[in-house]
Structure 1
């Protein structure tokens, strides 16, 4: 666990710690935070626990990080990275960053940048030759500030 930053919010001193997701984080508002990004659906405690165990079984190939506000115990930010193993580039690896979100209460504190740095550093430590992510046009400037470069367009096909 590493210190992410310190901030004054409403006159209170907050300390943020960045670390990997823990199974107890559901009680700390993790699912509600993801709900600020997209639809989460109704995830029971049992569903969460099963998925947590499944993701944990992938080891360092799928990492979810969170930033916890130590003052309140609330999860303030999160993101994940999945390591893709390729045949290209001498059987290289690519990190795919996903689901980066900062709680609306904590935006503007550079927590999103800390999440992207944490996930990028993990990808580098895993031997990835690059890290990539998809984002909406409105997030382009933010990710450029995180050191990423626009390399094309995103295409998707959703399944019902």
Structure 2
């Protein structure tokens, strides 16, 4: 690897690394992961758009400047391709004595790599980072069909998620 890492690799759990299949590696996102298929891996989640290398680097550099808040990790296959990814964002609160909350986002595993427990390893890595950054809790939103997976990862169902999409016109109240 020749690219810059998003954050220090010392935040990666050695136990998770050891639990990966032989030849696989977990590490922080790198500035040259554009060429390793990072965006292709994220495409299993939603529409990515036509992101250029320059746009990727602009976003990477922003995240790197805020690497006390943004922690994106990748799992590499033995052929050095990104096959798994996820992010934990650390939010600073006023509550809980100015506590920290980790928000897990964008968990993705390439379709041809599923069944190898890579998603579990992504979640374990992000939980480890959250705990080591001092978060008092780590939370995530998921679809109903993914609840059993996240329960296996140690999460419990709590409360209700609500969403409002900014690109929709506001609905008038009657």
TM-score (norm 1): 0.91
**Larger % of strand: which?**
1
SS in 2 for 1:143: helix
Q: Which residue of 1 aligns with 2:36?
A: 28
Tell me how many residue pairs correspond in the alignment: 152
Q: Which residue of 1 aligns with 2:145?
A: 138
Larger radius of gyration: 2
1:143 CA drift (Å): 0.3
Query: 54, 63, 66: which is aligned to 2:71?
Result: 63
Query: 97, 100, 119: which is aligned to 1:90?
Result: 97
RMSD of the TM alignment (CA)? 1.1
1:122 CA drift (Å): 0.6
Task: Find the aligned partners of 1:59 and 1:20 in 2 and give their Cα distance.
Answer: 11
TM-score (norm 2): 0.84
2:12 corresponds to 1:5: no
Query: Which runs of structure 1 show a deviation greater than 6 angstroms over 4 or more consecutive aligned residues?
Result: none
Q: Which residue of 2 aligns with 1:72?
A: 79
1:94-127 CA-partner distances (Å, limit 9, x unpaired)? 0000000111011011111111111111111111
Unpaired stretches in structure 2, ≥5 consecutive residues: 1-8, 168-174
1:32 CA drift (Å): 0.8
